[in-house]
Amino acid sequence: MNGMIYLDANATEPLRPEARAAVLDALDRTGNPSSVHAAGRDARRLLEDAREAIARRFGGAPSDVVFTSGGTEADALAIHALGRGRRVIAGATEHDAVRAAAPGAALLPVDAQGVADLDALEAMLRGGPALVCLMLANNETGTLQPIAAAAALCRAAGAWLHVDAVQAAGRMAVNLAALGAHSMALSSHKLGGPQGAGALLLTPDAAAALTPLILGGGQERGRRGGTHALPAIAGFAAAAQACTGSEHLAGLRDMAEQAALLAGAVALAAGGPRLSNTTALALPGVRAERQVIALDLAGIAVSAGAACSSGKVARSHVLEAMGAGALAGEAIRVSLPWNATEADIAGFAAAYQTMAARLSRSAA
């Protein structure tokens, strides 16, 4: 990437070679999976192989995997269908894909590490039928939520549980049944597949309750209309099969963090359970966007706050919910991609220390 050091995997992971090969193979096939002729049947086979691969990797029955355009649509579909006639309770640090789809949700508070308060959840569940939305791993901090314990509370109260596993899938063990969730959102480009594909995985009872958000030609058993983006879906499945977790990145992430701490940074959410590839680094007194721009000029790609709509840098609602105060506007996210190297981290460390010395001096 033109000598750039890419440390923004939580925005999008670099394409895995296995995914690239699968995309190119699918691009060379002409059929529409909905056509009855041989070309259509060939495309259908590719689609169903991908569906089986996703179910094998992340749990549930292949018939209860609904392919979508990505994580945002998977979250929206779950909330649209499972939130019908129910109160929605959402973690205070959920991604905008959930927040925007459930604007009236009651927010479940988190502690200083970003971990949801399960006593509060238990009390909130007493108010009648609910859909609970809780992410597995946070996109800004990597914080992991106690999903299995939340699932037990939800089941005891007769509530649905939707888990946004977009950042966790491929980086740690993720399985629908093991989590105890009723539905789970996945995104191809967060695990090294191409952009433009994702999936909603459902338990049989949630699948039976699913109503489509997008109507059309009856694709996905009538659960999601629209011709399948077959190259993206094939690449998604290939990437999912190629993922080997992110534990190998923990040492490199810690090296990056240590270098930043030496330069005056504060590592947020570092005292709780979190993904191995992510750190949220606040530099007191220096606005996040100034840090991102300075690092970009030095050839380092990181992001500020939730970078899904790049260009817009708002105060992070995630860090605010954790009680980070002014640091919520002063934190960058460093997220290591699957192919990060020690040389990348050495480059980051040098650039961060130069940036911190210069900007901290001008902020003082």
Beta bridge partners of 130: 87
CB environment 241-255: b (16+ within 10 A), e (fewer): bbbeebeebeebbee
Question: Minimum Å distance from CB 267 to ligand PLP?
Answer: 20
Distances (CA, A) of 102 to 128, 132, 203: 17, 11, 21
183 or 187: whose CB is closer to ligand PLP?
187
What is the bridge-based pairing of β-strands 266-268 and 278-282? antiparallel
The residue type at 115: V
- Cα 304 from Cα 124, distance rounded (Å): 32
Question: Minimum Å distance from CB 230 to ligand PLP?
Answer: 17
Active site residue 243: no
- Cα 63 from Cα 55, distance rounded (Å): 9
Answer positive or negative: Cα dihedral of 201, 205, 208, 211. Answer: negative
Question: Minimum Å distance from CB 185 to ligand PLP?
Answer: 6
Question: Minimum Å distance from CB 44 to ligand PLP?
Answer: 24
168 or 270: whose CB is closer to ligand PLP?
168
91 or 180: whose CB is closer to ligand PLP?
91
31 or 71: whose CB is closer to ligand PLP?
71
Q: How many CB atoms lie within 10 A of CB 176?
A: 24
- Cα 186 from Cα 54, distance rounded (Å): 10
- Which residue ranges make up the site for ligand PLP (CB under 6 A)? 70-72, 75, 95, 97, 135, 139, 164, 166-167, 187, 198, 308
18 or 94: whose CB is closer to ligand PLP?
94
Question: Minimum Å distance from CB 41 to ligand PLP?
Answer: 29
Which one of 133, 154, 243, 308 is the catalytic residue?
A: 308
352 φ/ψ angles, rounded to the nearest 5 degrees: -65, -45
Position of minimal CB gap to ligand PLP = 71
Catalytic residues: 308
